[in-house]
Each structure stands twice: as C-alpha cells, then as structure tokens.
Chains A and B, each alone.
Chain A
Amino acid sequence: MLSVPALASTGWGNAFGNEVAKGLRDLRSGWRAVLAEMITFPVFYLLIVMFMGRGQLLGELLVPVMIGLAGLAFLHEQVNRVFWGYLGDLQSGVLEQTYLTPLPSAAVVLGRQIAAVLGALPVVGAILATGCTAVLAGGGEVPFAWSVLVPAAAIAVGTCGLALVLCGLTLVFKRIESITQASVALYAIAGGTLVPLAELPDWAAALSRALIPVAPGIEAAQAILLDGATLTDLGAGWGLGWILLQPLLLGALGVVVFHRLERVAKSRGTLGRY
C-alpha cells in the first residue's frame, strides 16, 4: 500500500484540478474541431447580421447580435461539451471508472463543468473579436463596461445548472441527444439571443426570463452596453436581483436533479449501460 503522505490531503482540490486538467487536454487534442467552430460561428454571426440588415453589416445590429450570439454560443458549447463528454464516457464504459474514487464526486462534477466553461471560451472569444473588428472597421465604437461581467457570470452559472440537469437525465435515460439539441435551439429562438425579449409577447418574455439560463443575462448585457444602463438600474427585465437569483436557482436545481438521477442510475444499474 502507498504511504499516507502520497495521498493528497485536499481531496476537493485534487479532484477538481484533475478534471479541469483533463478537460483542457481534451480541448487541446480536439483543436481542429475548436478551430472549425471558431471559424463557423463568426461566419454565422456575420451572415445573420447581414441578412437582418438586408445585405449590409449595419452598425446598430453588430453589437446586439454579437452579445446575443456570444451568449448562445457559450450555452451551446458549454452544454454540449459536458453532455457529450458524459455520453462518450458512458458509451465507452469509462464513466464507471471515474466513479471509483474516494474523492468527493461533487468536485469531479464541478471540475467537468469548469473545464467545459473554459472550453467554450475560444468560440465566444472568436465571435466577440469578429464583432469588435467589424464595428471598428465600420468606424464605430465598441462599448464596454466592467459591470457586464456580472450578467456574463450569471450566464455561466445558469448554464452549468442546465448542463447538470441534462447530464443527470443522460445517466438514466441515455438517448436524449434530441432533447439537448432541441433545448439549445429553443434558447436560440426564445432566449433573447437574436430577438430581444422586449420584442416577444409578454408571456413568452416572462417564461424566457424565468427559465432560460442565458435570457436575463443577455438582456442585462445589452442594456448595459447598448443603453448605458447600470446594474442597479437596468431599465429592462426583472432587475439585478433576478439576474443573480435565477442562475443560483438553476444551479441548485441542476445539483438536486443530477444527484437524484445519479442515485436512480445506481439503483437501476444504468451508470455503465447504454
């Protein structure tokens, strides 16, 4: 047996760091796919702006669409990275091995989430860089305020909650790829990414603000960057309180649902069955 000093004293840090490191190794080994997405997403962005502007890259569309699409791309990348990571591990039978750990499983799950957040950043960065370049090339000015990091962080936390729900469902029900894809598509339509929430029917806007992880954050980011609003006086949506509360609720829902479904999977024996 190995001696006690060889065992890490900080189980949380060890499990978390190990998962993040593996996620980054996966990202590096899949650099071709990342590069392809770093090209295609900005191209989609420019095409959307061009179509909405009847063939022109209008300055007044470049920034709002950039904010919306950056949020949507983040959600798409983060959720898909975690979801497909779980599904791949499940199909190959490696997932069960990752459960044979004495370390806190919550730290392992959190590590996977953070790795997926980091993995989503190159594509988001490519969209932002393209948008900024297009704005500057058109003689415009790129708006920025540090306070926009608050809704950005809220989007990240809420998206992790959604990813946890989907991964929990995967442990038990397996073939839910269509649900994952449909949910991301729904958020593209109703999440305020391309069409501002203010333009939606009141009931649809309310549902989006309540349930869609990126909706309040994108709405707030647009208000801050386009209208010069402050965090305490956003002028749109349900205010700062909801921007902070919604991701926490979604995150908590994700933890509860994932934990519950993990127990169901252990009872039914579906952790290693696909």
Chain B
Amino acid sequence: MSAITVTDLTKRYAPNGPAAVDGLSLTVEPGSIFGFLGPNGAGKTTTIKILTGLLSATSGTARIDGLDVARDRAGAMSRLGAVLEGSRNVYWTLSAWQNLVYFGRLKGLRRAAAGARAERLLTEIGLWDRRGEQVGTFSRGMQQQVAIAAALIADPAVLLLDEPTLGLDVAATRAVKDRLRALARDEGKTILLTTHQLDVVEELCDRVAVINRGRAVADLPTRELLAQSRSRDHYELRIDGDADLLLPDGFTAERGEDETVVSGRADDPETLYRLIDAIRAQGRRLHSVDQVRPSLETVFLTLVAEPAHA
C-alpha cells in the first residue's frame, strides 16, 4: 500500500474560478523521499493542505496510509506530521520542551509518552540542554529543527514538509537535509517535500513530481528524470571573438568581448555538425564543444516552460 495516494484531485477556490489543482494524481511509496516541485502558484501548497485536511478538495481523494483524509480524518492525522510553509509551526512563547509535549498530547499521546518522545527528539537535534528556553530566542535553523521535531512527536509514518529549508543558512540547510535523510533511511519515514532549492531535491529525493498550473508534468524517479533529459543532447560551443551566426532552432548565443558562447539542444547530430561547419566557414576559431549535463534546475525549467499535458 502506498503511503500517500492522491487521485484525480481538483481544488477550485471559487465555484467557477480556475483550478488551483487540476485532476492531480500521484502516489508516494513507503520509506521514500518524494520531491514535489513546481513554480509559485503551481498548486503544491494547496495539495499539501488538502493532504493535511486543512483544506477541503473540490473533487478527488487524498489518502494517507490508505485512509481517506476527508472521511477518516482522525486516522489520517494520527499517521501524519507536517511542517507548513511560511509559518512558525510551533509556539515561540513556549519552550522547546513545552511545545513538544503540547503537540504530543494534541496528537493523542499520554503525557509520559509525549515526554519520553520529546526527550529523544530534543537530544537528537542537540537541543536537550536548551529545552527550557523559549523557541522565539532560538536561531531560525533551530526553530525549524524544533518544528520538525514537533511534527515527529507522535512518530508518524508520513511527514509532509512544505519548504523546510526556506530562509535557512548553508549550515542549517545541511543539518535539515541530514536529518531528513536519516529519517527516511534509518526510520523508514515517508517524506513528501516541496522546495525551490533543487539541489536539496537532487540530493535527497528518490522520486520527483513536477506540477504546473495544478497538473503533473512529470512524475519519475529522480535518476530517470535526469537521464531522460540528458538524452536530449544539450551542447555548449565556445567561439573566438564576437561571432554573428545564423543559429539553428533551439540555440542561443551569448556574446562576450573575447568569445561567444552558443548553447542549445540538438536532437539530431546533423544540426550540430552544420553549426560547426558554419563557424568554420566564417573563419572563427572554435575553442570547445561540450555536452552539458543538465541539472535538475534545467530539467525543471524546461518542464514548467512546456504547456501542461492535456
């Protein structure tokens, strides 16, 4: 059974308004880290809010561990922890300890169980010695670690993280990434992650779905997604001086003082050969021809630039 199942999910905020999420379907396997990507306004946060029961869907279903969030909310919530985007998630006026015990009891734990779990989580994130301090006095990175710990307080099988590294510095981002990796690999948690930091996704995620205008435009294992894009040969040619060339479709030129960089995709090798011939015909010196390895960022930009699949 999948840890998260979204089936034909649609959300319209106004009856005749545009769909924020438009017939979205996806599944997340247990114990995996799933990257959920898309540009601003693509429908990522709306989907997460529906998965958490904070937002009602117009149609379609969202299931956590097989339980329909709309029909068996209590069951679904007992299997779910979430850190939501752009909000504090925990009480800054309470201490780290008070927050964890409060949210533990809110998740239905007995006080003793919540305390024991809070002790373990605070120890793991290195804040046990500062458990009595108000969260508002912590650094942004520590606050985010407390928020993740609060989401984990009832040991949920599924963790939804909406922009968990937003606003964190390099060291704090690294700490969060390490923690997420450990949660999936060592504890078998299923993590659905949205972020605009694609290096985080490339490093952590087993599978990636990209949505645009509420629709999925890709849903593949991360390696496959990157490999698929690599098959579309992307080249970069460096030419001596300020070259003025008639470029094939899909190529662009960036002119500098000493050299011109021509780059683009050549699905047919003949296109590349004709371009090289044209450069030689002008008597230009070709410094280099490189096959560019596309990053997830390139893939992402290509996918969201294309119209969503019908």
Interface segment among A92-100, A129-137, A215-223: the answer is: A92-100
Are A92 and B87 touching (Cβ within 8 A)? Answer: yes
13 residue pairs A–B, Cβ–Cβ below 8 Å: A2-B113, A7-B113, A11-B108, A18-B106, A96-B84, A97-B90, A97-B150, A100-B81, A100-B107, A101-B107, A102-B73, A102-B78, A272-B87
Are B56 and A8 touching (Cβ within 8 A)? Answer: no
Counting CB contacts under 8 A, is B234 at the interface? no
Counting CB contacts under 8 A, is A67 at the interface? no
Are A108 and B89 touching (Cβ within 8 A)? Answer: no
Using CB atoms and an 8 Å cutoff, list the residues of chain A in contact with chain B: 1-2, 6-8, 11, 14-15, 17-18, 21-22, 25-26, 29, 92-94, 96-103, 108, 263, 266-269, 271-272
- Which of chain A's residues have a CB closer than 8 A to the CB of B94? 22, 25
Interface segment among B46-54, B217-225, B285-293, B302-310: the answer is: B46-54
Closest to B83 in A: A97
Closest to A3 in B: B113
Closest to B11 in A: A269
- Which of chain A's residues have a CB closer than 8 A to the CB of B13? 268-269
Are B105 and A8 touching (Cβ within 8 A)? Answer: yes
Are B98 and A103 touching (Cβ within 8 A)? Answer: no
How far, in whole Å, are A22 and B92 apart by their CA atoms in the complex? 13
One digit per residue, 1 when the CB lies within 8 angstroms of any chain A CB and 0 when it does not, for chain B 105-122 equals 111111001000100000
Closest to A26 in B: B93
Q: Provided the pairs A269-B55, A271-B54 are in contact, do residues A98 and B113 lie with their beta carbons within 8 angstroms? A: no
Using CB atoms and an 8 Å cutoff, list the residues of chain B in contact with chain A: 13, 46, 49, 52-56, 73-75, 77-78, 80-82, 84, 86-94, 98, 102-103, 105-110, 113, 117, 150, 154-157
Closest to B75 in A: A102
Are B93 and A102 touching (Cβ within 8 A)? Answer: no
- Which of chain A's residues have a CB closer than 8 A to the CB of B92? 92
- Which of chain B's residues have a CB closer than 8 A to the CB of A17? 105
CB-based closest 6 A-B pairs: A93-B87, A6-B113, A102-B74, A102-B78, A18-B105, A102-B77
- Which of chain B's residues have a CB closer than 8 A to the CB of A7? 78, 108-110, 113
Are B88 and A2 touching (Cβ within 8 A)? Answer: no
Closest to A263 in B: B56
- Which of chain B's residues have a CB closer than 8 A to the CB of A266? 53-56
- Which of chain B's residues have a CB closer than 8 A to the CB of A8? 105, 108-110
B interface, over-half SS: loop
Are B89 and A93 touching (Cβ within 8 A)? Answer: yes
A interface, over-half SS: helix
Are A92 and B88 touching (Cβ within 8 A)? Answer: yes
Are A14 and B82 touching (Cβ within 8 A)? Answer: no
- Which of chain B's residues have a CB closer than 8 A to the CB of A98? 106
- Which of chain B's residues have a CB closer than 8 A to the CB of A1? 155-157
Specify which of B53, B87, B89 lies most central, judged by the most chain A CB atoms within 10 Å of its CB.
Answer: B87
How far, in whole Å, are A92 and B81 apart by their CA atoms in the complex? 18
Are B54 and A25 touching (Cβ within 8 A)? Answer: no
Are B77 and A101 touching (Cβ within 8 A)? Answer: yes
Given A8-B110, A98-B106, 13 more contacts at CB 8 Å? A1-B155, A2-B155, A14-B108, A15-B105, A17-B105, A26-B93, A92-B91, A94-B91, A96-B87, A102-B75, A266-B55, A267-B56, A269-B49
How far, in whole Å, are A22 and B75 apart by their CA atoms in the complex? 25
Closest to B112 in A: A6
Are A94 and B89 touching (Cβ within 8 A)? Answer: yes
Are B56 and A93 touching (Cβ within 8 A)? Answer: no
- Which of chain A's residues have a CB closer than 8 A to the CB of B113? 2, 6-7
- Which of chain B's residues have a CB closer than 8 A to the CB of A99? 52-54
- Shortest beta-carbon distance from A205 to chain B in Å: 43
How far, in whole Å, are A271 and B103 apart by their CA atoms in the complex? 18
- Which of chain A's residues have a CB closer than 8 A to the CB of B84? 93, 96-97, 272
- Which of chain A's residues have a CB closer than 8 A to the CB of B110? 6-8, 14
- Which of chain A's residues have a CB closer than 8 A to the CB of B73? 102
How far, in whole Å, are A103 and B94 apart by their CA atoms in the complex? 22
Are B90 and A94 touching (Cβ within 8 A)? Answer: yes
Q: Provided the pairs A100-B52, A266-B55, A269-B49 are in contact, do residues A25 and B98 lie with their beta carbons within 8 angstroms? A: yes
How far, in whole Å, are A249 and B232 apart by their CA atoms in the complex? 69
- Shortest beta-carbon distance from A267 to chain B in Å: 5
Are B106 and A93 touching (Cβ within 8 A)? Answer: no
- Which of chain A's residues have a CB closer than 8 A to the CB of B49? 269, 272
Closest to B46 in A: A269
- Shortest beta-carbon distance from A221 to chain B in Å: 35
Specify which of B13, B54, B75 lies most central, judged by the most chain A CB atoms within 10 Å of its CB.
Answer: B54
- Which of chain B's residues have a CB closer than 8 A to the CB of A108? 106
Q: Provided the pairs A100-B52, A100-B80, A267-B56 are in contact, do residues A2 and B106 lie with their beta carbons within 8 angstroms? A: no
Q: Provided the pairs A93-B87, A96-B54, A97-B89 are in contact, do residues A14 and B105 lie with their beta carbons within 8 angstroms? A: yes
- Which of chain B's residues have a CB closer than 8 A to the CB of A272? 49, 54, 84, 87
